[in-house]
Amino acid sequence: MAGIASLNDFRQALQDLPAPNAAAAEAARARDAVLTKPPGSLGRLEHLAEWLASWRGRVAADRLQVVIFAGNHGIAARGVSAFPAEVTVQMVANFKAEGAAVNQLSKLAGAAMSVHPIRLDQPTADFTQSPAMSEEDLFEALQIGWDAVDPQADILVAGEMGIANTTSAAAIASALFGGTGWAGRGTGVDDAGLARKEAAVAAGLAAHEGQLTDPLEVLRRLGGREIAAMSGAYLAARHHNVPVVLDGFISCAAAAVLQRANPAALDHCIAGHLSAEGAHGRLLEAIGKTPLLSLNMRLGEGSGAALALSVVKGAVACHTGMATFAEAGVSGA
C-alpha cells in the first residue's frame, strides 16, 4: 500500500496488515544458535536481531529514520503544562537548528532526522468542549505521518513536540483502556497542575461519552495533529515492512489507537524505553510491550527511542559480526 487517499483507506490498511517473515526470523535464530557464545547469553539482543529479520528480511540497521511531528493543542489553555504553548514552534526551530536532545541522539545512532510541523498556527479544539479535530484534520495528520515514512528504512522512530500533549495522550489512554490516573506531570506541573490535568481528562471523557468506542474516533476527539501523524507513520511503517521503536507516553498513546483497532497492529513495534511519565508503564502493559531502556527520561521528541537505536545497533553488530563456533574453532558445550 503506497499511500492513503481517505480515512476509509486508513481503516482498510488497519485490517490488511502484512505478516512477519517467518523464514527470515528462523534463519536469524539458526545463525544465532551457532555464534560463539552460550545460547541465550546475549539476552534481548538476540530477540532484536530476530525482530529485525522478521520485518526487514535481514538483520541490518544501516538506514535509520527519526521523524518528528509537531502540533498545538487547544487544551493547553487550561493550564495543563508547565510551559507556554509557544514552546512548540520554538522547539521546531531548535530541531531544525540541531539543538535539541533528539538531534544529538539521532546523530549518535547515525539516523536521518526530519521535522514536520503541522498547522502550528491552528491548535486543535479544546477537547473538553468539542472534538479536537474534524475528520478532515484527522485524515490530513494521518496522511502526513504516513507519507513521512521512508519505505526503505531499516528502522523507524517517530517523535513528537506539542505543549499539553501529555494531557491529550492521557485522555486517549483513558478512553481506550478505561480507568483514571492516566495523567502525569509531563513537563513538570505541580500538584495543582496535575489536578487540572486530571480534571481535563475527566471532562473530555464526559463530553464525548458514548462516542469513544471507535479508536479512530478517540484519536479525532481527544488527540492532536502530531499524535495522529505518529499513528499514521506507525501504520505506514507496517505496510512498508519497516520495524518501529516506540518512544514514551505520547508515542505509545498514538500506537495504542492502532492496537485497539487491530490487536496485531503493533507486532512490528518494540518499546524503546520506559518513560518517567507516571502511567507509561501501565500503558506499555496495556499494549503488551516490555521497554528496552529505563533511564528516568521524560522528554518525548522520540529521544528515548532514538537512544534505543544504539542498543539495536549493538544487536546487529553482534549478529552480523560475530564468528561461529566452526569459524573460530571454539568448542561447543
Catalytic residues: 301
Return the residue nearest ligand NIO (CB atom): 248
300 binds ligand RBZ (CB under 6 A): yes
What burial letters (b/e) apply to 106-129, b meaning 16+ CB within 10 Å?
beebebebebbbbebeebbbbbbe
Residue 149 binds: one of ligand NIO, ligand RBZ, none (C-beta under 5 to 8 A by kind): none
Choose the contact partner of 258 out of ligand NIO, ligand RBZ, none; CB within 5 to 8 A by kind. Answer: none
Shorter beta-carbon distance to ligand NIO: residue 123 or 186: 186
Shortest Cβ 28–ligand RBZ spacing (Å): 34
Sign of CA dihedral 287, 288, 290, 294: positive
Nearest Cα neighbor of 171 from 257, 261, 79 is 257
Q: Note whether 248 binds ligand NIO by CB under 6 A.
A: yes
Contact status, residue 269 vs residue 289, Cβ threshold 8 Å: yes
CB 37 within 8 A of CB 47: no
Q: How far is the CB of 279 from ligand RBZ (least distance, A)?
A: 13
Which helix (H) or strand (E) segment holds residue 86: the answer is none
What is the grid cell recorded at 322?
560475530
By a kind-dependent CB cut-off of 5 to 8 A, residue 83 interacts, out of ligand RBZ, ligand NIO, none, with: ligand RBZ
- Residue 65 binding partner per list ligand RBZ, ligand NIO, none, with a CB distance cut-off of 5 to 8 Å that depends on partner kind: none
- Which residues in 66-105 contact ligand RBZ (CB under 6 A)? 81-83, 87, 91
CA distance 216 to 239: 18
DSSP-based three-state secondary structure for 88: helix
CB of 8: closest distance to ligand RBZ in angstroms?
30
Residue 216 to residue 268: CA distance in whole angstroms: 20
- Binds 223, which of ligand RBZ, ligand NIO, none (CB < 5 to 8 A, cut-off by type)? none
Q: Contact between 193 and ligand NIO (CB under 6 A)? A: no
CB of 123 to ligand RBZ, least distance (A): 13
* Interacting positions 159-188 with ligand RBZ (CB under 6 A): 160-167, 186-187
Q: Is there a contact between 253 and 229 (Cβ–Cβ < 8 Å)?
A: no
Burial of 280 (0-12, 13-18, 19+ CB in 10 A): buried
Q: Is residue 130 a contact point for ligand NIO (CB under 6 A)?
A: no
**Residue 130 or 187 having the CB closest to ligand RBZ:** 187
Contact status, residue 302 vs residue 251, Cβ threshold 8 Å? yes
Radius of gyration for the chain, computed over Cα atoms and rounded to the nearest angstrom: 20
Look at residue 131 and give the partner it binds from ligand NIO, ligand RBZ, none, a contact being a CB closer than 5 to 8 Å depending on partner kind.
none
Choosing from 250, 284, 292, 309, the residue that interacts with ligand NIO (CB under 6 A) is: 250
Tell whether residue 249 is a contact of ligand NIO (CB under 6 A): yes
Q: Which is nearer to ligand RBZ, 158 or 270 (CB)?
A: 158
Give 82-88 contacts, CB < 8 A, sequence gap 24+. Answer: 82/186, 82/187, 82/188, 82/189, 82/190, 82/193, 83/163, 83/187, 84/163, 85/123, 85/163, 85/164, 87/163, 88/120, 88/161, 88/162, 88/163
Q: How many residues bind ligand RBZ (CB under 6 A)?
A: 18
Question: What single letter denotes the amino acid at residue 255?
Answer: A
User: Candidates 139-147, 244-252, 309-317, 321-329 — which segment interacts with ligand NIO by CB under 6 A?
Assistant: 244-252
Residues lying near ligand NIO in the complex (CB under 6 A): 166, 186-187, 247-250, 275, 277, 280, 298-300
Residues lying near ligand RBZ in the complex (CB under 6 A): 81-83, 87, 91, 160-167, 186-187, 299-301
